[in-house]
Structures are given as structure tokens and as C-alpha cells.
């Protein structure tokens, strides 16, 4: 099937917002999409990242009666519960988004997050609460994540195809997501230290209550703004039937096997990203503390990493225009953060350089003016491996960012609109299916092996399998989804209801 994406004369609207995000000759519909995401994505990033430094530690300390190490075992069980909930519900809720619209799913996800943060605020630090409360918190986070997964991307992609049909090769699309990713990362980074200050000045529970309130506010905003443009979905007076839901559920899964290209690129990504939960939940923070020792040092290191990575994310959208997806996606996946080269080089670093001894480590500290509070702490004895890890993280992040944008450009015209959210939710569901046994395995292996080296080498091997599958995908013809049907003049007038200022 041939994709018809060249309308005769798209109505162009001059907007500094669109130009700022790389959309030249943007239509009025595209400008509205830009304004919506320009408001919502930074708000999402700031509101949910503000407590990431201390939320898990707070839960672990409560479970361990003040000793977060003692509470980590139960935290691990809770993480598996959350992942199981998300795994079971991710794909079905994605189909529901295609069935009734993404705004309902996103608003529901935000209300789940609000309830989870409110329950977190009811917990007393250093004192165990009834275990079902913790289960409810992680269940709600899993339920919210399953609904949010893929919904924003599906909504935007569906509407972008209608709003910017003249974007040949989807190059402006790549620039847009690169710059939007930078804004997301900057907003997420800038709240880390203020979040810690608020928790220190008031309490962790105060921050959790603030997040709960803001999540409810965002749910209302999302329900108001996240609407499909005319031409994407013909508005129906009656609620869709359950038969349509069942059809979308089956069609989304069938599409995974519709061509060798789709099968290999989706499943290759699943295998490649299956080591991600292992990295984030079992390896990353123990690795940080083995070289940085203190929470202040870890927080400062994370901030230093996020700043250049935010710039890279923005530049990746521009740089991606220079690369042909078929040739460069497999190469960049091989080089990317949490890819083959990343794991192998990191394994070499941790093998060569010993961990810091907390009892003898000396620090270079930068204090907040007129206080005795440390803003930055750097261990002297482990400075060399810290610098090497910093370079590794920052340098390889660019490759993954470019590969993500190139992949989005390809998949934008491969996946039919009616099942886009379904497929976008199916992939992370499959990632979690594979990740859960991997977390159990590596949870056993890390203490047994006495270090990170062997685990990192195994992660590299798993990533290699995923990369080879993605390479195999591009040896096959790339299918194209159905043509986009332009909205009529009467339908287009309805879009004025979506005006965002």
C-alpha cells in the first residue's frame, strides 16, 4: 500500500513555538500539538521526578525500621508486583486507549499516581506500616504505568500524521522529539535538588502530598487538552462496542507477526531493552554507591550527567536528519547506553578499579553558601573511575537518542493509527515479561559473583542478540500503513475548541 502524505496546499501557520521545535511550515493543527506538549511534558517530568532521589529510600527505610538495606528485600518483592501488574495490564490498557481515546487513559493513569503518592504520604518514616499498604502503592504505580505507557506517543503520532502530512521523511518529526526530549530532561533534572530541599525543610510526606495534588490537577488538564484532530478519529455519539475492543486487541498482536520487518524490529527492541530493568533496579545505584559512597555525591553525579545528556537529546533530533535509518539504527543500537559496548566497557572499568572504602574515603566538598550543607561531594580515591563512568554515560547516550528518533521516524508510517497505542504498549509489556525472570536471576548472581563484572558481560551478550535482530529487520522490506485521510473544511473548524494559549 502506498502512503499518500502530500496534500495539495497545507494551510501553514507562522508560530515561534513550531519554529523553536524544528517544524518549518507548520500547519495550525501542528502548532496546537506543539503548544499542548510544550506545557504537559515538562509538567509531567517535574511533578514525578521531584521525589526520585528519596522515594524508594523512604519506602525501604520504613520497611526496614530505619535501615534501608534491611528493607531492600521487601522492596524487591514489591517491584516484581508492580512489574507483574504492568505486564498483565500494559497491552490491554493500550488497546483501551485506541478504543476510547488516549485522554481517558492518561487521566486515569494520573489519578492512579495521585492515589499512590497519597498512600505514600500516610507512611511513617522508620516505622513499618501494614504490608498491604505497600502492595497497594506499588499496584497503583503499576496500574498507572500500564495506562500511561505509549499513550502520549500514540496520541501525538496519530495527530502528527494529519497535522504535518508534508513532512517528507519525517525529518522535522525527529527534530521536534529531540528538542522536546531535552525539555523533558531539563525539567526533570532541575527539580531533583529542590525536591530534596523541600523534603529536608518540610518532610518527605509533604512532598508526596504535593505530588498527589499536582497529579489530580494534571489529570483534569489532560482530559481537557488531549483530543484527536478531525481526520484522525471520526467522533461517535455512541460509545464503541466491546467487539471493537476485542478486534483491536487481536489486530494489535497479529500486527506483530504481519511482516518479518515488524517482527524483528519489535522483538529485537524487546530483547535489547530487557536488561534495562535489571540495570535500573539492581545494578545502577549499588554501582553509584560503590564509588561515590554518599547520597550527596550520588545526587551531584546524577545532576552532572543529566545536564550534558539533555543537550545531547536536543542535538540528537538535528543530527538524526543526517543518517539513513536502515543503515545506522543497528550501528547506533550496538553503541548506545545500555548496549553491547556500554556493558563491556563498564565491566572493564569495574574490573580494573576497586570500590571505595567508606571508612577511609576522603571527599572534596562544595558547601551551600552560609550553611554547612554539602552541595557537591567528590571522593578523592575513586576519582578516576568516576570520570571514566561519567564519560561513558554521556558519550554513549547520544547514540541511543539518535537511534530512538530514527526508529520513531520509521515506525510512524509502519503502524496503522487504529492499533498504534496497542503496539506501543505491547513492546514494553514483552520487555517486562522477559525482565522479571532476569531480575530474579541477576538478583541471585550479583551476591554470588561478588561484583558487577560477570553480570555486565551477560547483559552485553543479551543486548547483542537484540541488536542482531534489529539488524535482521532492515534486511526485509519495510511495510507502510494505510493512507491518511484529510479532514474536510467543516471538520477542521471544530479544532478551534482545542486552542491552547
State the burial class of residue 404 (Cβ atoms within 10 Å of its Cβ: 0-12, 13-18, 19+).
buried
Nearest to 405 by CA among 302, 336, 469, 304: 336
Nearest to 463 by CA among 332, 359, 355: 332
Which residues are registered as beta bridge partners of 12? 27
**How many domains, the chain?**
1
What is the CATH number for 473?
1.20.1250.20
Residue 4 lies in a domain: no
Averaged pLDDT for residues 473-486: 72
State the burial class of residue 424 (Cβ atoms within 10 Å of its Cβ: 0-12, 13-18, 19+).
buried
Interatomic CA distance for residues 52 and 195, integer angstroms? 9
Point out the least confidently predicted range of 44-53, 169-178, 396-405.
Answer: 169-178
Task: Give me the helices (H) in 13-163, please.
Answer: 16-20, 28-49, 55-63, 68-100, 102-121, 131-148, 151-163
Which range marks the domain in which residue 474 is found? 26-498
Q: Are 477 and 259 in contact (CB under 8 A)?
A: yes
Interatomic CA distance for residues 411 and 403, integer angstroms? 12
Q: Concatenated DSSP letters for 42-60?
A: HHHHHHHHTTTTTHHHHHH
Residue 203 lies in a domain: yes
Interatomic CA distance for residues 275 and 76, integer angstroms? 16
Which residues are registered as beta bridge partners of 374? 367
Long-range contacts of the stretch 379-382 (C-beta < 8 A, 24+): 379/291, 379/292, 379/293, 379/297, 381/356, 381/357, 382/291, 382/292, 382/353, 382/355, 382/356
Q: Are 292 and 379 in contact (CB under 8 A)?
A: yes
* pLDDT, tens digit (0-9, with 9 covering 90-100), for 133-165: 999 999 999 999 888 877 777 777 777 777 777
* pLDDT, tens digit (0-9, with 9 covering 90-100), for 68-124: 666 767 777 888 888 889 888 877 777 777 777 778 888 999 999 999 999 999 998
Interatomic CA distance for residues 268 and 457, integer angstroms? 19
State the pLDDT at residue 238.
43
State the pLDDT at residue 495.
38
| Grid-cell match 516505622, residue found | 127
Interatomic CA distance for residues 474 and 458, integer angstroms? 25
Residue 6 lies in a domain: no
- For the chain, the average pLDDT equals 79
The three three-digit cell numbers of residue 51, written as one number:
521525589
Residue 68 lies in a domain: yes
State the pLDDT at residue 136.
96
CB neighbours of 263 closer than 8 A, spacing ≥ 6?
256, 257, 473
* pLDDT, tens digit (0-9, with 9 covering 90-100), for 229-239: 776 655 434 44
Q: Concatenated DSSP letters for 339-408?
A: SHHHHHHHHHHHHHSPPP-TTT--EEEEEPTTSS-EEEEEESTTHHHHHHHHHHHHHHHHHHHHHHHHHH
CB neighbours of 338 closer than 8 A, spacing ≥ 6?
273, 275, 276, 279, 400, 459, 463
Query: How far from the centroid of its chain's Cα atoms is residue 196's Cα?
Result: 22
Residue 10 lies in a domain: no
Give percent above pLDDT 70 in the chain: 82
State the pLDDT at residue 326.
87
Interior/surface letters 263-282, b for 16+ CB within 10 angstroms, e for the rest: bbbbbbbbbbbbbbbbbebb
In Å, what is the CA distance from 229 to each residue of 13, 33, 183, 225, 492?
16, 9, 24, 11, 8
- Angle in degrees, 0-180, between the axes of helices 151-163 and 68-100, rounded to the nearest 10: 40
* pLDDT, tens digit (0-9, with 9 covering 90-100), for 354-403: 888 877 888 887 777 777 666 777 888 889 999 999 999 998 988 988 89
In this model, does residue 220 exceed pLDDT 60?
A: yes
Interatomic CA distance for residues 68 and 292, integer angstroms? 18
Interatomic CA distance for residues 282 and 446, integer angstroms? 9
In this model, does residue 492 exceed pLDDT 50?
A: no
Q: Concatenated DSSP letters for 168-234?
A: GGGHHHHHHHHHHHHHHHHHHHHTHHHHHHHHHHT-HHHHHHHHHHHHHHHHHHHHHH--PPTTTS-
Residue 15 lies in a domain: no
Interatomic CA distance for residues 334 and 342, integer angstroms? 9
Residue 56 lies in a domain: yes
In Å, what is the CA distance from 329 to each residue of 106, 311, 408, 472?
30, 21, 11, 11
Which residues are registered as beta bridge partners of 38? none
Averaged pLDDT for residues 316-338: 87
Residue 368 lies in a domain: yes
Amino acid at each position: 500500500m502506498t502512503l499518500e502524505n502530500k496534500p495539495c496546499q497545507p494551510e501553514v501557520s507562522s508560530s515561534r513555538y513550531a519554529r523553536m521545535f524544528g517544524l518549518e511550515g507548520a500547519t495550525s493543527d501542528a502548532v496546537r500539538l506543539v503548544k499542548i506538549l510544550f506545557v504537559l511534558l515538562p509538567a509531567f517530568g517535574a511533578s514525578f521526578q521531584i521525589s526520585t532521589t528519596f522515594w524508594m529510600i523512604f519506602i525501604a527505610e520504613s520497611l526496614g525500621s530505619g535501615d534501608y538495606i534491611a528493607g531492600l528485600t521487601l522492596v524487591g518483592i514489591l517491584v516484581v508486583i508492580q512489574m507483574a501488574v504492568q505486564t498483565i495490564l500494559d497491552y490491554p490498557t493500550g488497546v483501551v486507549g485506541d478504543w476510547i481515546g488516549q485522554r481517558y487513559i492518561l487521566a486515569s493513569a494520573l489519578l492512579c499516581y495521585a492515589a499512590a503518592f497519597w498512600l505514600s504520604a500516610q507512611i511513617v518514616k522508620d516505622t513499618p506500616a501494614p504490608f498491604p499498604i505497600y502492595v497497594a502503592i506499588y499496584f497503583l504505580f503499576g496500574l498507572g504505568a500500564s495506562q500511561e505507557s505509549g499513550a502520549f506517543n500514540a496520541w501525538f503520532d496519530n495527530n502528527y500524521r494529519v497535522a504535518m502530512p508534508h513532512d517528507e521523511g519525517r525529518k522535522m518529526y525527529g527534530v521536534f522529539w529531540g528538542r522536546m526530549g531535552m525539555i523533558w530532561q531539563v525539567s526533570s533534572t532541575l527539580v531533583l535538588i529542590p525536591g530534596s530541599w523541600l523534603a529536608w525543610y518540610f518532610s518527605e510526606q509533604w512532598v508526596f502530598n504535593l505530588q498527589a495534588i499536582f497529579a489530580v490537577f494534571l489529570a483534569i488538564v489532560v482530559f481537557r487538552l488531549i483530543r484527536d484532530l478531525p481526520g484522525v478519529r471520526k467522533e461517535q455519539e455512541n460509545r464503541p462496542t466491546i467487539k471493537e475492543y476485542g478486534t483491536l486487541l487481536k489486530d494489535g498482536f497479529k500486527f506483530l507477526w504481519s511482516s518479518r520487518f515488524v517482527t524483528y524490529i519489535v522483538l529485537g527492541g524487546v530483547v535489547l531493552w530487557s536488561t534495562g530493568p535489571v540495570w535500573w533496579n539492581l545494578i545502577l545505584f549499588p554501582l553509584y554507591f560503590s564509588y561515590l559512597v554518599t547520597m550527596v555525591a550520588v545526587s551531584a553525579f546524577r545532576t552532572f550527567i543529566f545536564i550534558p545528556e539533555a543537550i545531547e537529546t536536543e542535538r540528537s533530533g538535528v543530527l538524526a536528519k543526517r543518517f539513513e535509518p536502515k543503515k545506522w539504527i543497528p550501528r547506533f543500537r550496538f553503541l548506545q547506553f545500555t548496549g553491547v559496548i556500554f556493558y563491556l566497557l563498564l565491566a572493564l572499568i569495574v574490573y580494573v578499579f576497586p570500590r571505595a572504602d567508606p571508612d577511609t574515603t576522603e571527599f572534596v566538598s562544595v558547601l551551600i553558601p552560609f550553611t554547612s550543607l554539602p552541595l557537591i561531594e567528590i571522593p578523592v580515591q575513586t576519582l578516576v573511575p568516576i570520570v571514566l563512568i561519567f564519560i561513558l554515560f554521556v558519550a554513549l547516550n547520544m547514540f541511543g537518542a539518535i537511534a530512538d528518533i530514527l526508529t520513531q521516524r520509521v515506525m510512524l508510517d509502519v503502524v496503522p493509527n487504529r492499533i498504534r497505542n496497542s503496539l506501543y504498549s505491547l513492546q514494553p509489556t514483552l520487555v517486562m515479561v522477559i525482565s522479571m525472570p532476569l531480575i530474579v536471576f541477576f538478583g541471585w548472581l550479583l551476591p554470588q559473583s561478588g561484583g558487577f563484572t560477570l553480570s555486565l558481560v551477560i547483559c552485553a551478550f543479551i543486548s547483542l542478540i537484540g541488536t542482531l535482530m534489529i539488524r535482521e529487520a532492515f534486511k526485509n522490506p519495510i511495510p507502510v500503513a494505510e493512507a491518511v485521510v484529510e479532514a474536510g473544511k467543516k471538520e477542521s473548524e471544530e479544532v478551534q475548541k482545542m486552542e491552547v494559549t
